[in-house]
């Protein structure tokens, strides 16, 4: 067993971690993802938790098996055990020894060569036994068993440690613990684990045009759809959301909010105000801080993505449009936050599916279409308009179309990425 690691806080990110290479203006999606992957590091501290509290947490170190699974050789079925070398040719008749081997009540003596012993599923295999015949394949008398030729050596047995050997790695660092992982850790004797503290993600909405749900929206106002969506994604990813509310379109209000967010969270996500207009105070304020990069990414919807450091805390400035905000969160902020939280970098799994739609795609940008699977084909939402929020609910994932021009006909294969592959 490894010595427990004390609670630690990793070093902060460098202020230049988001800087694009010289000469790069429009970044292809894969290039932008590679830059994020190469420049970010874990920011979440290390802590210890019991197995009952470990579900969904991220492993801070490799989990080493404290014992083998199974710990001893055992039988996989109810039947009769014997030494394979004692068998002759043709049908077999073996006398039975008295007693049996059951799970938790093993047979203590050595089974003589040429004899068989009753064994039950999960029982430790007694000395002198290396093969088990299924009880349904036997004719049983008071003193003997009879079975046909053809039983293989080692049949119906499990070797000690055939699943995992004590002292070996059971689960690797950076893994988010699943319910199945809890079973594995319990089986190999793990009661406590070293995990990363939950990543704290502050969410800020900007814009005087926003109204809070429950309020009466004035003419010209819209309800803030981004904040509940982003906080929901954060919760699904296993992070701790910090709701910073809505911020007025003034430098002072935004600066105060960012200062507070930096003290309460490990990461800050803003939506709106990340472009270069007169009222885009997020980008202006972050630029003044001296650690701001505006990534113009060849993606639709989305494109502008503000990345910055504020008082040592990374900031993701998302577009204000909810569809673009969700797409850029899933494609960029999601894997980046998971890396900051201590997980291994996550590339979503996609599937080639026949298209149920037609589309002529222009070259230059990677496109993400709201999509779902019906009757074995990928349907896309009727409108590509980025203001159609209902399409996010209608969809069950995204169809990803590469940067090249493409004419898609019904039946052509397209890459479908279900929401589940993003962890939501």
DSSP characters for 83-150?
A: -GGG--SSSEEEEEEEEEEBTTB---SPPPTT-EEEE-TTPBPPTT--EEEEGGGEEE-SSEEEE-S-
Please give the Cα distance from 395 to 96 (Å, whole number): 64
**DSSP structural state of residue 419:** G
Residues 6 or more apart from 333 whose CB is under 8 A from it?
Answer: 269, 316, 318
Q: Which residue has the tokens 């203001």?
A: 387
The HSE-up count of residue 411 (CA atoms within 13 Å, CB side) is: 0
Measured at the alpha carbon of residue 160, what is the angle toward residues 156 and 161, in degrees to the nearest 5?
A: 120
Q: Is the pTM of this model over 0.85?
A: no
Give per-residue pLDDT as tens, 300-348: 997 677 888 888 898 898 888 899 999 999 999 999 999 999 998 999 9
Burial (Cβ within 10 Å: 0-12, 13-18, ≥19) of residue 311: middle
Helix axes 281-288, 251-264, angle to 10 degrees: 70
Residues 6 or more apart from 64 whose CB is under 8 A from it?
Answer: 1, 2, 167, 168, 169, 170
With CA atoms as reference, report the closest residue to 116 among 136, 143, 89, 76: 143
**What is the helix (H) or strand (E) element at residue 228, kind and residue range?**
helix 226-236
Give per-residue pLDDT as tens, 73-121: 999 999 999 999 999 999 999 999 999 999 999 999 999 999 999 999 9
Please give the Cα distance from 270 to 282 (Å, whole number): 8
Please give the Cα distance from 212 to 221 (Å, whole number): 10
SS3 235: helix
Please give the Cα distance from 140 to 119 (Å, whole number): 14
Length of the chain in residues, anyone? 424
Q: Say if residues 272 and 225 touch (Cβ distance below 8 Å).
A: no
- What are the residue ranges in the chain where pLDDT is below 70? 1-9, 11-25, 273-281, 289-294, 303
DSSP 361-405: EPSSSEEEEEEEEETTEEEE-S---TT-THHHHH-SEEEEE-SS-
220: left (phi over 0), alpha (psi -120 to 50) or beta: left
Alpha helices in 245-369 (DSSP H): 251-264, 281-288, 322-328, 334-340
> Domains plus CATH for the chain?
26-45+198-340 (3.40.980.10), 63-67+164-195 (no CATH), 74-158 (2.170.190.11), 351-422 (2.40.340.10)
């Amino acid at each position: 067993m490894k010595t427990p690691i004390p609670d630690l806080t990793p070093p902060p990110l460098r202020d230049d971690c988001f800087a694009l290479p010289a000469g790069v203006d429009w970044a292809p999606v894969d290039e932008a993802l590679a830059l994020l992957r190469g420049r970010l590091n874990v920011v979440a501290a290390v802590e210890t938790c019991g197995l009952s509290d470990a579900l969904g947490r991220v492993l801070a170190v490799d989990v080493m098996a404290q014992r083998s699974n199974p710990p001893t050789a055992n039988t996989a079925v109810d039947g009769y055990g014997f030494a394979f070398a004692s068998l002759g040719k043709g049908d077999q008749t073996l006398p039975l020894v008295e007693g049996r081997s059951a799970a938790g009540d093993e047979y203590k003596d050595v089974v003589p060569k040429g004899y068989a012993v009753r064994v039950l599923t999960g029982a430790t295999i007694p000395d002198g036994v290396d093969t088990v015949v299924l009880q349904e394949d036997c004719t049983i008398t008071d003193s003997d068993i009879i079975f046909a030729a053809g039983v293989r050596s080692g049949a119906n047995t499990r070797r000690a440690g055939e699943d995992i050997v004590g002292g070996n790695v059971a689960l690797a660092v950076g893994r988010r613990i699943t319910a199945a992982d809890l079973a594995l850790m319990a089986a190999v004797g793990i009661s406590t684990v070293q995990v990363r503290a939950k990543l704290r993600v502050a969410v800020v909405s900007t814009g005087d045009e926003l109204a809070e749900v429950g309020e009466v929206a004035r003419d010209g106002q819209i309800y803030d759809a981004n904040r509940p969506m982003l906080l929901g994604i954060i919760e699904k990813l296993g992070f701790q959301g910090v709701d910073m509310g809505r911020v007025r379109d003034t430098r002072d209000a935004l600066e105060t909010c960012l200062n507070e967010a930096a003290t309460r969270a490990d990461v800050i996500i803003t939506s709106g105000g990340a472009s270069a207009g007169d009222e885009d105070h997020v980008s202006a304020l972050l630029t003044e801080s001296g650690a701001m990069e505006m990534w113009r990414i060849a993606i639709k919807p989305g494109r502008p993505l503000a990345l910055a450091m504020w008082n040592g805390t990374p900031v993701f400035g998302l577009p204000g449009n909810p569809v673009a905000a969700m797409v850029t969160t899933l494609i960029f902020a999601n894997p980046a936050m998971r890396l900051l939280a201590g997980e291994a970098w996550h590339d979503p799994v996609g599937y080639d599916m026949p298209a149920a739609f037609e589309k002529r795609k222009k070259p230059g940008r990677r496109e993400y279409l709201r999509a779902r699977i019906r009757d074995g084909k990928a349907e896309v939402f009727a409108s590509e308009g980025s203001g159609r929020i209902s399409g996010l609910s209608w969809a069950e994932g995204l169809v990803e179309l590469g940067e090249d021009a493409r004419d898609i006909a019904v039946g052509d294969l397209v890459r479908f990425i279900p929401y589940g592959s993003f962890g939501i």
